Structure 1
Amino acid sequence: MADWESTFAELVAVRGPALRAHAYLLTGNPGTAGDLVQEALLRVFGRLRVGTDIEQLEGYVRRAILNLYVDDRRRAKKWHETRHLLVDQAAHDDDHLVTANAVRQALSDLSPKQRACVVLRYYEDLSVLEIADQLGCAEGTVKRHLADARTRLAAQLGVTEESVQ
């Protein structure tokens, strides 16, 4: 067995569930989350030089998951904005599904960056500085995304300041 194969097997065995959970929090869909993790693993281990440090590799995979998620959301938004040029919108109105999970629905209404910030802050318990490093943006930008996301989530979920305190 090649060195990268044993490292890959160890990463998937030890950190696979945490990687899938991370992807699920971003996507809200177990199937999509699994696909996202698989694609991220392919990207990381598809390189010729892969180290053997599990923590470092997990960081690379998490970053790849985040990048893939943001890219996919950006692509989907662009498609949503232009698909009316190609298909009849009325034929697709019945495809919208109503979800029972209000939080997941509220999260899905956030922009990709806002959702990523919320997941990294409140589910991954990262600091604003760590989130800024992960997303490659300024701390102020992360704070703005978090504030906007909290406002939108509170409005959608009917949360008031009195109920939080």
Structure 2
Amino acid sequence: MADDYREFVSARLEGFRRTAFLLCGDWHNADDLVSSALLKVLRHWRRVSAMDDPEAYVRRVLLRNLIDERRRPWRRESSWAWVPEQAVDPVDGPVTDRVAVVAALKQLPPRQRAAVVLRYFCDLSVEQTAAELGCSTGTVKSQTARALEGMRTAMSKPEGTRRG
């Protein structure tokens, strides 16, 4: 049991980390999400390994952990006493684009962010995304459309007015 679990995790760990990062926007929180998800999977590995798509199950656990975490009251508090200054001059190119996309993703509500990440990063179909999110295909389409519009709006704002 432990060997096939180790193989499963080692083959997919980086993909899970990237997915979690895109869902939450922070590498430290992403690592926490992945750790707690994989611990839950380990506890039920016999059942999970018998599933048709255990990787989809792990992504679903990642998403549920993120949503549960976002519901906690302390997450709604924010401090405005400290605002970071930009340490370096902005550069044009792929790095800037990636930073802008991640910042736009951070501004989305968790369900919209999950829809975009599953559809475009994990390359799932509308039907597969609906199954992982536990909703209808129409909901996936509307959440994705709203998310993309929100990202377009966020990315079209001048640099100094972006949140994130």
Tell me the TM-score normalized by structure 2.
Answer: 0.77
Greater Cα radius of gyration, structure 1 or 2: 1
Give, as a single letter, the amino acid of the residue that structure 1 aligns with 2:30: A
Q: Is the deviation greater in 5-14 or in 56-65?
A: 56-65
Amino acid at match of 2:107: D
Q: Structure 1 residues 13 and 158 mapped into 2: Cα distance closer, same or farther (>3 Å)?
A: same
Name the CA distance, whole Å, in 1 between partners of 2:120 and 2:85. 25
Q: TM-score, normalised by structure 1?
A: 0.76
Contact 2:115 2:129 in 1 (8 A): yes
| Higher-RCO chain (CA-CA 8 Å, sequence separation at least 6) | 2
Two-structure CA RMSD over aligned residues (Å): 2.5
**Deviation of the 1:75 alpha carbon:** 2.7
Equivalent position to 2:5, from 8, 20, 29: 8
Contact 2:5 2:45 in 1 (8 A): no
Decide whether the 8 Å contact of 1:44 with 1:61 is kept in 2: yes
Q: How has the CA–CA distance of structure 1 residues 71 and 154 changed in structure 2, closer, same or farther, with 3 Å as cutoff?
A: same
Match of 2:124 among 120, 123, 126: 126
C-alpha contact (below 8 Å) 2:112/2:147 kept by paired residues: yes
- Between the two proteins, the alignment pairs up a number of residues equal to 146
Tell me, in whole angstroms, the C-alpha distance in 2 between the residues paired with 1:24 and 1:136: 21
Match of 2:111 in 1: 113
Question: Is 1:93 the counterpart of 2:80 in the alignment?
Answer: yes
User: 2:135 is paired with a residue of what secondary structure?
Assistant: coil
Secondary structure of the corresponding residue to residue 62 of structure 2: helix
